[in-house]
Amino acid sequence: MAGIDNLPPLRDVIATHGLSARKSLGQNFLLDLNLTAKIARQAGDLTETDVLEIGPGPGGLTRGLLAEGARKVLAIEKDHRCLPALAEIAAAYPGRLEVIEGDALEINPLEHLTPPIRIAANLPYNVGTELLVRWLTPKEWPPFWSSMTLMFQREVAERIVATPGSKAYGRLAVLSQWRSDARIAISLPPGAFTPPPKVSSAVVHLTALPAPRYEADAKTLEYVVAKAFNQRRKMLRAALKGVHPDIEDLLTSADISPTERAEQVSLEQFCALARALKDARA
Ligand code: SAM
């Protein structure tokens, strides 16, 4: 018995099903069920919502989410070797765990869940940022999720919560803070994982705001911020050259000096620039 449920300890599950970690799939497993239950608690009250989990692996966080009362968990896992272990969890929690084998980048979770849902995951590092940006930039807002509780490398977590003027401030900070509240909830040393990764990790909790902090078109904002930070050491009039022939005027109309660098520009100013660019292109 592992403490939070009647299933075997995760080390036994891994041994029974031969789940040696594969680097190519970003596999660093959490085996401490008290820790996975703690992460699940950060996701808030799970009893009234469905939860989407990406990359359940042997099921440590899945078990945490279910033990903390999640109404239903939809877990998308690419590694078919994990499916028998996940089937054992599904049997222990009848009707509350649905597992889909596949690539999270290809599967539409809304075909299986009723929004608004919560997202909770110890993300595979190779797809984590891409999924986060996708979840943050749908055309319509509010999105299909009400909160996201996500594990990242510590450095990525710091980029999500960074403020203007800091080294970590960039595309992820602007897109995350534009339409959500983001905070680092738990910090974890490499030793919390099996095998231990080279770097520390952190759980970030993001709560969707009812409306964006400032009006802007998601695709235009994403585009202009990516361009601006792509050459972060250049003045904006140079970094954004090619974005629009009148870029200096557009920057000025957004209250941004054309000689400014991207890391000094606030979220409000980036949104104003995205609006000006969209109008100028119309
Ligand atoms: N949730 C487990 C835990 O906390 O122990 C495993 C986390 S491990 C960091 C990432 C998991 O994501 C692995 O099980 C891996 O097989 C899976 N994975 C990797 N790429 C994926 C993808 N594109 N779609 C779905 N799952 C993926």
pLDDT, one tens digit per residue, over 163-173 is 999 999 999 99
Q: Is the pLDDT of residue 19 over 80?
A: yes
The reply to whether ligand 1 has any atom less than 6 angstroms from the CB of 30 is yes
Average pLDDT, stretch 9-31?
A: 97
What is the tens place of the pLDDT at every residue in 206-245? 999 999 999 999 999 999 999 999 999 999 999 999 999 9
- Could you tell me the distance, in angstroms and rounded to a whole number, from the CA of residue 107 to the centre of ligand 1? 14
pLDDT confidence band for 114 (50 / 70 / 90): confident
The side-by-side arrangement of strands in the sheet containing 97-101 is 97-101, 72-77, 50-54, 117-122, 145-153, 201-208, 180-188
Among the ranges given (35-39, 149-153, 180-184, 229-233), the one the predictor scored with the smallest mean pLDDT: 229-233
Among the ranges given (113-127, 141-155, 256-270), the one the predictor scored with the smallest mean pLDDT: 113-127
Average pLDDT, stretch 115-124?
A: 95
Atom of ligand 1 nearest to the CA of 55: 12
CB atoms within 10 A of CB 210: 7
Distance CA 75, CA 54 (A): 6
- Could you tell me the distance, in angstroms and rounded to a whole number, from the CA of residue 145 to the centre of ligand 1? 20
Residue 181 has a pLDDT of 98
Closest Cα to atom 8, ligand 1: which residue?
A: 27
Q: Is the pLDDT of residue 193 over 90?
A: yes
Q: Is the pLDDT of residue 2 over 60?
A: no
The reply to whether ligand 1 has any atom less than 6 angstroms from the CB of 127 is yes
The reply to whether ligand 1 has any atom less than 6 angstroms from the CB of 79 is yes
The reply to whether ligand 1 has any atom less than 6 angstroms from the CB of 143 is no
- Could you tell me the distance, in angstroms and rounded to a whole number, from the CA of residue 219 to the centre of ligand 1? 28
Q: Is the pLDDT of residue 266 over 90?
A: yes
Residue 164 has a pLDDT of 97
| H-type alpha helices, 27-166 | 33-42, 60-67, 83-92, 125-136, 154-161
Atom of ligand 1 nearest to the CA of 22: 16
Distance CA 146, CA 99 (A): 21
The reply to whether ligand 1 has any atom less than 6 angstroms from the CB of 64 is no
Burial of 118 (0-12, 13-18, 19+ CB in 10 A): buried
Bridge partners of residue 119, in order along the sequence? 52, 148
Q: By C-alpha distance, which of 177, 198, 180 is closest to 189?
A: 198
- Residue 129 to residues 60, 126, 159, 185, 193: CA-CA distances in angstroms? 22, 8, 11, 18, 20
| H-type alpha helices, 79-191 | 83-92, 125-136, 154-161, 171-179
The reply to whether ligand 1 has any atom less than 6 angstroms from the CB of 169 is no
Average pLDDT, stretch 257-269?
A: 98
The reply to whether ligand 1 has any atom less than 6 angstroms from the CB of 54 is yes
- Could you tell me the distance, in angstroms and rounded to a whole number, from the CA of residue 271 to the centre of ligand 1? 34
pTM: 0.96
Residue 126 has a pLDDT of 83
Residue 125 has a pLDDT of 83
Mean pLDDT (the chain, rounded):
96
Q: Is the pLDDT of residue 100 over 90?
A: yes
Average pLDDT, stretch 139-167?
A: 97
Residue 120 has a pLDDT of 98
pLDDT confidence band for 1 (50 / 70 / 90): very low
